[in-house]
A and B are shown apart, each in its own frame.
Chain A
C-alpha cells in the first residue's frame, strides 16, 4: 500500500469569512481528537497535489448569484477539465460542507457541484454533503453541528489511523485553547517615526492606514492595504422626502489627494470611521493605554528573534489608531468562537456558564437570537459580560475586522473629472429586541458636513457592470439605489452625444406610494413591446439593486416579455437569455 498522508486536509473557499470560520472550527475539533490537520484556502493550494492526499474536507461558500468565491475560481476551473478522467481521484476520500442561502434560487450550487464533480473524478464521499443555510433560525451552525458529528464518527470507522489516541479521545476545550495566533509588541517612543500624525499629510495617512491594515490581516504588506485616494465631501443632500421611511442621500466628493481615473460602473470602497467614544470605551475595557505604540504580527514569527530589532516592514503605530482602523467594535457581530474563548477569561461564575452555554450546540439557537439576529456588537457583548478580562491579543484575533463598504459610483468621470458621486441608502432598522440600529458607514457619511473637511480613505475597483460602448442600445433596470450606477451611464452618454440618448426614456416604479405594490418587473411588462424592440436592435441588459430576489424576478420578466413578443415558447426565451449572458450582454450587480 502506498504511503499516504496521515494528515487531514481542510480546503476552504471563503468570501466573507464564514467558510474560513467553519474550516477553523473543524480544524480545532480535529486537534481535540489528536488528529493531525492542515488547513488551506483553495487559492493557496495546487490542485495537482490532490491525488497525493488521503482525505480532504472541503468547506465552500456560494456567493450571491450562485458563483464560487473569488479564491476558488482557478481551483474550480482546474477540476472542470475533461481530461482529468474519472479515475484521477480514485482512492481519495472527501467530504463537502457548503454555506449558502436558501433565499436564492441557486442555493449552495457551489457545494452541490463540487460534491458531484469530486465523485465523478473517482473520489469517495465519507459522509453526505452538509448544507449550511443562512435562512435557518440559527444560521449555518444548525447544519454544521450534526454534519460534524457524523463526520467524526464515520472517519473513526473507516480511517482510524487519523485518530492515534483512539475514537473516544477528546481534549476539553479548556485545555485546547492554546495561544492566540497573533502577537502584539509594545515599543518605546524612540522607535517611532519622528513625524507625528497630523492629518494634513496624505502620504503619511496613507502609510498609516496601509500599515495598520497589513498588520491586521497578518499577510505580507500588500499595496491594496493603502487607500488609493482620499476624498472630501462637497455635497450631501437627501433624495427622499423627510417623512419617507427611507433616507437616501446623494453625496458628492472631491479628490483631495491625487485624482484617480475611474470608469462608470466602477465600485468605490470606503473605510468607515468608528465612533471615538466607542473606541475609547473598548480600549478602557481592555485596561490598555491608547497612546502606547504597537506592532502586530503572526505568532509564528516568535521563533525568529525580533526582540529589539524593529522589523523594517512594521513601523509601530498607536494602539488607538490600530483599533480605530482595523477592529470593528461597533457594527459587526463576533462569531461563536469569540464567546468560547471569552468563557475562559470570565471570572464570574454565571458569566462563564452563560458563555460556555452560548458556545455549545445546545445554546446555539439562543446565541443566534442574542448575537447574530440582534446584530450585537463587541462593545455591547463586553457590557453584558463585565468580568471578562481577555488579553488584547485575543481581541486582535477575534474581533471582526473593520471592513470597507462598497458602493456603485453614480457619476461619470467625463461629466465630473475631479469628483465621485454616490447614491446611498442610510440604513436603519429595529432589532427583534426593539433596539434601534444604524448602518455604520452610511450613517457616518450622512453625518459629514462639507464644511468640516473630513478625509475619507477610498479604494476603486471594477464592479460587475462593464462600461458599454457609447452607441450600444441599453436596457437598464435599477430599482432603489440600483439607479446609482446608471446615473453615471446617463451622464456619460450625455457628454458623449451632447444630446439626450435617442429615444431614451426613464420609466420609474415607485412601489410604496400606491396602495398596491408596483415593482420594477410590472413596469417592465408595461413596456414589453419597447423592450422587445430594443433587444432586437441588439441592446445589452444591465440590472443593479439592493435586493436578493430582484435579479431573478427581472430575469423572469424578460423571459415572459421575450416569449410574449416573439411568440416563441418559454424555453427558447430562457435559452436566448442564457446565450445573451454568455455573449457578455447581460450584467447584474446585486448587493445586500
Chain B
C-alpha cells in the first residue's frame, strides 16, 4: 500500500465487530501501516449485505472480515468494485479450520474477484492470527471510460480490411461503358481458303465457286494412293509440312513410293485401324 500522508478511506465489512477490530489491527501490522492513519467505516451484517450505502469511487480499501465460512455474495463484489477508487484494494479475510478448506475458500474468492474485474489477486496469511487466511486484489487503475491513443494506420499499410457479408459492394455492371455493352463485332472470317467449311454462294461473284471446283478435282486418285510421289518432297512428311493446296492434306505421313495407309487415328477405346 502506498504511504500517503493524508487519510485513506477504509471500509470494513464484517459480521463481528470485536473480531473485526482485532483483525484490522493485525492487518495493519502485517502491512506495516500506522493504524492511526485509518478511520474505518465499519458495516455490519456482512453475510447479508448486497448493497453499500456509499458513493462510487469513494474508498481506498475495503476489508471484508469474516469469522465464519460465509463469504460475500456475488453482488457484493460488484458493489465493492463500485465504491473503490481506481487502484484501490479489496482484502477478504477469514478464519478457516484446516488448510485444505482454506485453499478451497481462497480459490473460490480468487475466481469471484476475477469475474468482478479485480486484478493482482494475492493470497496471504497473518502470522499473528492462527488459521487465518486472506486474499487481496486491486481494482484496475484507470477510470471507466478512459481512452487511450489508437494508432491511426495509413491506408498504404497492409491493413486487413475485413470482408463482412453486409459490406457495401458497388454495382459491377456500372463499370461497363456504352461501347462495352454493344454486341461485339466478330473478327473478319479469314476463311478465304477454299476447301474449309464455308461454301461458295449459289450466285457466287467472287470466284470462290470456281476455286472450289478446282479443289474437288484435287481428290486423290488410286494411283496417288498406291504410288505416292511428291515433286516438292514435302507431301509425305505430314500435315505440319504440307502446302495448303497439297492433295495429300489430311492424310497421315507416308513414305514416297509406298502405299498410303489411312489410319483412322485411335477414335475410341475399342480402337479401329484400317489400311486401304
B34 at interface by CB-CB < 8 Å: no
B176 at interface by CB-CB < 8 Å: yes
Q: Interface stretch among A109-117, A221-229, A409-417?
A: A109-117
- A residues 37-78 near B (Cβ < 8 Å) are 48-49, 51-52, 76-78
B187 at interface by CB-CB < 8 Å: yes
Residues on A with beta carbons closer than 8 Å to the beta carbon of B158: 48-49, 51-52
Residues on B with beta carbons closer than 8 Å to the beta carbon of A117: 172, 175
B249 at interface by CB-CB < 8 Å: yes
| A-B contacts, CB under 8 A, total | 140
B208 → chain A closest CB, angstroms? 15
Q: Interface stretch among B49-57, B89-97, B232-240?
A: B232-240
A-contact bits for B85-118, CB 8 A (1 contact / 0 none) = 0000000000000000000000000000000000
- State the CA gap A273–B241 with chains docked (Å): 31
The reply to whether B169 and A435 contact each other, CB–CB distance below 8 Å, is no
Residues on A with beta carbons closer than 8 Å to the beta carbon of B252: 380, 383
- Asked whether A80 and B237 contact (CB < 8 A) given A102-B187, A109-B176, the answer is no
Q: Residue on A with the closest CB to B219? A: A434
B180 → chain A closest CB, angstroms? 5
Determine which residue in B170, B252, B265 has the highest number of CB atoms from chain A within 10 A of its CB, and name it. Answer: B265
- State the CA gap A436–B187 with chains docked (Å): 27
Q: Interface stretch among B67-75, B189-197, B222-230?
A: B189-197
* Among B163, B176, B189, B268, contact of A112 (Cβ-Cβ < 8 Å): B176
- State the CA gap A444–B272 with chains docked (Å): 12
B271 at interface by CB-CB < 8 Å: yes
The reply to whether B265 and A379 contact each other, CB–CB distance below 8 Å, is yes
Q: Residue on A with the closest CB to B233? A: A350
B266 at interface by CB-CB < 8 Å: yes
- State the CA gap A276–B186 with chains docked (Å): 41
- Asked whether A102 and B184 contact (CB < 8 A) given A370-B239, A384-B253, A436-B264, the answer is yes
B203 at interface by CB-CB < 8 Å: no
Interface residues on A, range: 35 or more
Residues on B with beta carbons closer than 8 Å to the beta carbon of A498: none
* Among B170, B195, B273, contact of A80 (Cβ-Cβ < 8 Å): B170
* Among A116, A432, A434, contact of B176 (Cβ-Cβ < 8 Å): A116
The reply to whether A277 and B271 contact each other, CB–CB distance below 8 Å, is yes
- Asked whether A48 and B268 contact (CB < 8 A) given A107-B184, A384-B241, the answer is no
- State the CA gap A88–B175 with chains docked (Å): 17
The reply to whether A80 and B169 contact each other, CB–CB distance below 8 Å, is yes
B1 at interface by CB-CB < 8 Å: no
Q: Residue on B with the closest CB to A119? A: B175
The reply to whether A81 and B269 contact each other, CB–CB distance below 8 Å, is no
- State the CA gap A84–B155 with chains docked (Å): 9
- State the CA gap A277–B271 with chains docked (Å): 7
Residues on B with beta carbons closer than 8 Å to the beta carbon of A133: 187
- State the CA gap A281–B271 with chains docked (Å): 12
- Asked whether A136 and B187 contact (CB < 8 A) given A385-B240, A440-B268, the answer is yes
Residues on B with beta carbons closer than 8 Å to the beta carbon of A350: 237, 241
Residues on A with beta carbons closer than 8 Å to the beta carbon of B127: none
A14 at interface by CB-CB < 8 Å: no
The reply to whether B185 and A80 contact each other, CB–CB distance below 8 Å, is no
B6 at interface by CB-CB < 8 Å: no
Residues on A with beta carbons closer than 8 Å to the beta carbon of B264: 436
Residues on B with beta carbons closer than 8 Å to the beta carbon of A76: 172
Q: Which 3 A-B pairs have the closest CB atoms?
A: A384-B238, A433-B250, A278-B266
Q: List 27 A-B contacts (CB under 8 A).
A: A48-B161, A77-B163, A81-B167, A83-B161, A83-B167, A83-B168, A102-B185, A104-B184, A107-B184, A112-B175, A112-B180, A113-B175, A113-B176, A116-B176, A120-B175, A135-B186, A136-B187, A277-B273, A278-B266, A330-B265, A358-B240, A379-B266, A384-B238, A384-B240, A432-B196, A432-B197, A444-B270
Please list the residues of chain A having a beta carbon within 8 angstroms of any beta carbon in chain B: 2, 48-49, 51-52, 76-78, 80-85, 87-88, 102-105, 107, 109, 112-113, 116-117, 120, 133, 135-137, 273-278, 281, 330, 350, 354, 358, 370, 374, 376-377, 379-381, 383-386, 431-438, 440, 443-444, 447
